[in-house]
Amino acid sequence: MRKSINNANIKSSSESNSPKTRSVFKRMIRISSVRIGGCIILFFIFIAIFGPLIAPYDPTKLGVAERLLYPTWDFPFGSDALGRDILTRVMFGARITLYIGIVSISIGLLSGLIIGIFAGYAGGWVQAVLMRSVDFLYTFPDILIAIGLVAFFGPSLTNTMIAVGISLIPYYARVTYSVTLVERNKPYFEAAQAIGAGRIRLIFRHLLPNIIPPIIVVGSLGFSAAVLSAAALSFLGLGAMPPTPEWGKMLAENRDYILLAPWVLLFPGLAIMLTVLGFNILGDGIRDLLDPRLRKDIR
C-alpha cells in the first residue's frame, strides 16, 4: 500500500521534475512576474534598438512654431519648449537611459556585493576596514559623491556612469553585508565547514547562491535611483550634454513647464516609471526562480 503510493508519487514527480527536459527558459516564462516584467523590459529594449529608425522626427530639430503643443496626431506626446517632438525624444532616450542605468547599477552592485560578502565572511579587521570605509562613503549624500567624482574626472557620460555606480556601492555593500552575516551564522554554513569545504568553496558555492536572490531584488529597485542620479548630474551640466535626449535630463530641463504643459514631463516620467516597474517585476520573478524555496513549479 505504502509502496504503491510512493511509486505513484515518484513517477509523477520525475515526469515533471527532470531538469533536462525543461529548459531554464521554459521555467522562466512559467512565472507570471517574469513574463510581465520581461515583456516591459523587452519592449524598452526594442525601442532602444529600433527607436531611431521608427521615430517620426529628428530629436534635436528645433521648431519655433511648434513650441509646447498639446499631444495631437502629429505630435502624439506633444512637443517641448523648443518645439522638439517628445515622442521622438523619448524613443531616442531609451537607448541612452537604459545604458546609463544598467552600467551604473552593475558597477555599484558588483563592487558592493564583493565588498559586502568579503567583509561578512572574513569578520575581524577586514570587516572593520571595509565596512568603515563604506560607512564613510555612506555619510555623504550619493549625489555629492557623484558630483565630486565627475568634477574630478571631468564631465562625460562614461564618467557619469562610473560616478553614479560608485555612489551606489555603500548601499549594496551594506545590504550584502547584512545578508552575509545572517547566512554565515546559519547551521548549514557550519555544516559545510565541517565537511571540509575551503574558503573559496564556502563563499562561492554556499554563501553566494543564498545571497544573490535578495540582492537581485534590491538591485532592480536601484535602477530608478541610478537613472535619477544620472539625470541630476546632467541637470548640473556634468552628465549628458544638452541636446542628448536622456529621460532624466528631459525631466530636469522641462520642470519649469509643469503647470503650463504637463505632458513635457509626463511622458519621459512615465517612461522612467515603466522601466523601473519592469525591472522590479522582473527582479522579483528572477528571485523566485533562483530561490528553490519559492519555486512553485516543482511537484
Partner 1 sequence: MNRHINNQPILSIKNLRVIFSGEFGEAAAINDVSFDLFPKETLAVVGESGCGKTVTALSILRLIQSPQGKIEKGLIEFEGKNILKLDTKSLYRLRGNKISMIFQEPMTSLNPVLTIGRQLTEVLVFHQNITEKEAQNKTIEMLQLVQIPDPKNCLQQYPHQLSGGMRQRIMIAMALLCDPRVLIADEPTTALDVTIQAQILDLMLEIQEKLGTAIILITHDLAVVANIADRVVVMYAGKIVEEGKVKEIYNNPRHPYTHGLLKSLPRLDNLNENNKEIRLTEMPGLVPSIYTKRIGCSFAPRCPLGTERCRIEEPLIKTVINGHRTACFEWENIN
What does each C-alpha distance from 286 to 6, 209, 219, 291, 299 come to in angstroms? 32, 13, 12, 8, 19
Binding of residue 188 to partner 1 (CB under 8 A): yes
CB closer to partner 1, 35 vs 201: 201
> DSSP letters of 98-149?
HHHHHHHHHHHHHHHHHHHHHHHHH-HHHHHHHHHHHHHHHHS-HHHHHHHH
Q: Which ranges in the chain belong to alpha helices (H)?
A: 2-17, 24-30, 32-54, 86-122, 124-139, 142-153, 157-184, 187-194, 199-201, 208-235, 247-254, 263-290
Nearest-approach distance from CB 218 to partner 1, in angstroms: 17
Is 128 among the residues that bind partner 1 (CB under 8 A)? no
**Judged by CB, which is closer to partner 1: 154, or 198?**
198
- Which listed residue (206, 232, 252, 253) binds partner 1 by CB under 8 A? 206
In angstroms, the CA 89 to CA 52 distance is: 9
> Does the footprint of partner 1 cover residue 12 (CB under 8 A)?
no
Residue 14 binding partner 1, by CB under 8 A? yes
Q: Kindly tell me which residue out of 62, 74, 136, 190 binds partner 1, with binding defined by CB under 8 A.
A: 190
Sites for partner 1 among residues 254-293 (CB under 8 A): 290-293
Site for partner 1 contains 122 (CB under 8 A): no
217 touching partner 1, by CB under 8 A: no
Closest Cα to residue 165, out of 217, 111, 99, 96?
A: 111
Binding track, positions 78-107, relative to partner 1; x by CB under 8 A: ------------------------------
Cβ atoms of 189 and 183 within 8 Å: the answer is yes
Residues that bind partner 1 (CB under 8 A): 6, 10, 13-14, 17-19, 123-124, 186-188, 190-198, 201, 205-206, 209-210, 290-293, 298-299
